[in-house]
Structure formats: C-alpha cells, structure tokens
Amino acid sequence: MDIKTPVDVKDEGSGWLGRLRARMPRATRWILLAAACVMLAGGAYYAWWAGFGQDNPADSLITTLAQRGDLEDTITATGTLQPKDYVDVGTQVSGQLKKLLVDVGTVVTAGQLLAEIDPSVYQSRVDGDHALLLNQEAQLADRQAQLVLARLQLTRQKNLDRENATTTDALQSAAATHQSALAQTDAIRAQIKQTGSILRGDEANLGYTRIYSPIAGTVVSQTAKQGQTLNANQQAPIVMRIADLATMTVQAQVSEADVSKLVIGMDVYFTTLGGNSRRHYGKLRQIPPTPTVVNNVVLYDALFDVENPDQALMTQMTAQVFFVAASARDAVLVPVAALGPLAASGQTPRAGGGRKASGLDPRGQYAGGKALVNVLDAGGKVTGREVKVGVMNRISAQIISGLEPGEKVVIGSRSPAAEDQSKPSSALAPTAQKGGR
C-alpha cells in the first residue's frame, strides 16, 4: 500500500497535470523523466558541436595528395583523314565506257588496265591515216622518179649547150622542169610529215580508250558506270579515284586563337570515333597560309601524316586531334586549383584559386614560373610553400621543386567561412617556405 506524502496529495489536486500524475504509476514517471533528460543532453551537445565543434580550420578544407604521373599541355582540334597520295583517274577521249575491270576496294598496281572505252571511231581514224600515208608515199615515189628524169634532161641540155647543139629556150625549159619536180617532191614529203603527225595523234587517242592505273593503290571511289557515255570535249570526266592508303594525311582545322601556338615538327596524335581510344602519332608538316571561314569563324588547316600499314584508317574519318605543346613524364602533379600567385613585396602570400587569379587559363601566369601552394601537415597545420611550376594544362600542373609526392595540398574549402583560412595568412604562414624536391 502506497503512503502518500502531504506534497503528493497537494500535487494531485492541482490541475490536470496533478490528476495525470495521480493516475500514472511511479515507474512510468521515472522513465519519462529519464527520456526527457536524454533529449535535453542531445540537444545541448548538438548546439555545442554546431557552435564550437568546427573551430579547427583543417576540418573544412578540401585537400588532395601530390602524386606522380604523366602530363601533356595540348591544343585540340577536329580534323578529317585523306590519303596522302591519290589520283583522280579520268578519260581524255569521249565514248561509251565499254568495260570496267575493277570495283571499289580493288587493290591495283601501277600500269594495270582499269577500263576500256569503245575504240571503234578512233580505230577507224587510225586506219584512214595509214591509208592516206601509203597514198602519199606512192605519190612521193612518182615525184622522185619525175625528178630523176628532169635532172637527166637538164644535164643533157647543158652538154648540148656547151657544143652549141641546142637552143637557149630548150635549156631553160629543162631547168624549169627540174625545179618543178624538186618542189613537188618536197611538197609530198611535207604532206607525209603532216599525215604522220595526224596518225600519231589518232593513235594516241586510240590508246586513251584503254585506261591504266598511274599509281599503285586502292580504288576508293567510282563515278562512272559500265555502259555510260563519257564526253571529254569540255571537261575530262572522272572515272574513279585511286589512293595509296599506306600513308594518310590528317587535315585538322585550328582556330586563329590557337594557330600561333603550333610549330612545324611538333608532336601530334589523334583518335577516331570507332578506334577504341587508340592513338595515332605523327608530326606537324604544314600550315597553309590561307584560312577557311565557317560561320564567321576563321580556321586554319594543319596537316600531318600518319602511317597506316593495317589500313584501319579510312578516307573521311573524323579525327580528334591533339597537338602536344609540352609534356612531362613521371612528374609530381597537383591540381591547378592548388596554385596561387606569390605575394608582392609587403603583401601577405596567398595560395589557392589559381584559375580565378588568371581569369580563364592559369597557364600564362604559372607555367614555367613560380607559385604558392597550401600544404597540410600531419598535425593539421596549413603552411604556404613556394614551388616551381613546369608543364601545366587547364587541370593539372607539374611541380619541379618545392613539393614531394604524397604531401597533402589544399585545393578549396567546404564553407565560405573557412575560405580565407584555407589560404596562408599572417597567422598560418608569415612567410612562404622555399624548398626543393
């Protein structure tokens, strides 16, 4: 039996809380009291953690490790592939394409017969020239015989004239006949030369009805079909294109902002869309001075060659081209975001935010020079350190001296309040530390 104290009796009679406590067992009231204490303690801890638990600036810093790796500073462009050596094979005579002896993809050798044009018209012209030439040669033989006769008559008249046995008229007539026979002989010879020239031209045209490959290579396209009539009177029609696919030329289009960074002979590589990231390497060969303007954008062609022994590269493939301006192998690398400018005389050294310091591209400010980085040691202390920067691109930078692989560098912070603490100030780093690797 519970014995109620005077206080308990008084509480039970005072309002709804007293009536509730009167109906509630004592054990239950102790459990509720303990739960309320736990909740109050948790709220107090959370308030302390939110207000005082982040006093250490290192807890809000974003860091990464300096590590070794390879780095390239590249200029990117898009290009297309073309065979370095190719020939558009056409016809020099008109007529019907009677035979087409190769198809697209056929590998041909130099001098191989590719196609034939109907030779009937050209063969008839050659036959006519031969007949005319035979006729003129017969005329020449006749004129030569008349010339011999005229020469004999002139000689006889001269002998008779020395003996005063002929007249002057007869002598003059014999001389004129000899000169006429000589002139007619020369005229026939000239006609024979003319006919011979026409014959050679017609024979050449007859030979043009048989089309041969000028180079060894692969038939990459055909623009004429067998049975088609070709007209070469105004423009030589193209029958096919033959290309040597052993060496391909990449024609990359580079913007006018980047073309000044290219140097003849610099290393360059590219990948293709279906090439599984396989790299093909070459060296920049030529930059033609005349640009191409596309939608008011000035683009310059940059040409380089690449070997294609397995013929995996094909005409008109799209290439993603990378011109290597600088590179470093097995170098100490940090993100560009870890770099900051060195302080001027009398100013506090600050690091971090390298991309902001240079506007868009920090390479012009830090590449090949010096910068400042924040280094976080094992005790959580942040120290500004001067480093020498080598090759860099928009993402990473090579550290030549001042930093070792595995050291932790600051690249940012998780809260704006800690932003200033992530940079070496007078409290964190009164002076920048210089040191070699």
pLDDT confidence of residue 60: 78
Within 223-296, strands assigned E span 229-230, 238-255, 267-272, 280-286, 292-294
* Cα gap 199→188, rounded to integer Å: 16
pLDDT confidence of residue 366: 78
245: tokens are 């696919």
Choice between 215 and 61, residue whose per-residue pLDDT is larger: 215
Residue range 241-262, pLDDT digits in tens: 999 999 999 999 999 999 999 9
| Mean pLDDT in residue range 395-403 | 92
Fold of 241-329: Elongation Factor Tu (Ef-tu); domain 3 (2.40.30)
Q: Which one of 3.30.565.10, 3.40.50.1820, 3.40.50.880, 2.40.420.20 gives the CATH number of domain 60-68+331-434?
A: 2.40.420.20
| Mean pLDDT in residue range 347-375 | 64
Contact predicate 304/84, CB 8 Å = no
Do the first three CATH levels of 60-68+331-434 and 241-329 match, i.e. the same topology? no
Could you tell me the residue ranges of all domains in the chain? 6-48, 60-68+331-434, 92-212, 241-329
Choice between 309 and 58, residue whose per-residue pLDDT is larger: 309
pTM: 0.65
* Cα gap 204→209, rounded to integer Å: 9
Residue range 282-329, pLDDT digits in tens: 999 999 999 999 899 999 999 999 999 988 899 899 999 999 999 999
Confidence of residue 365 (pLDDT cuts 50, 70, 90): confident
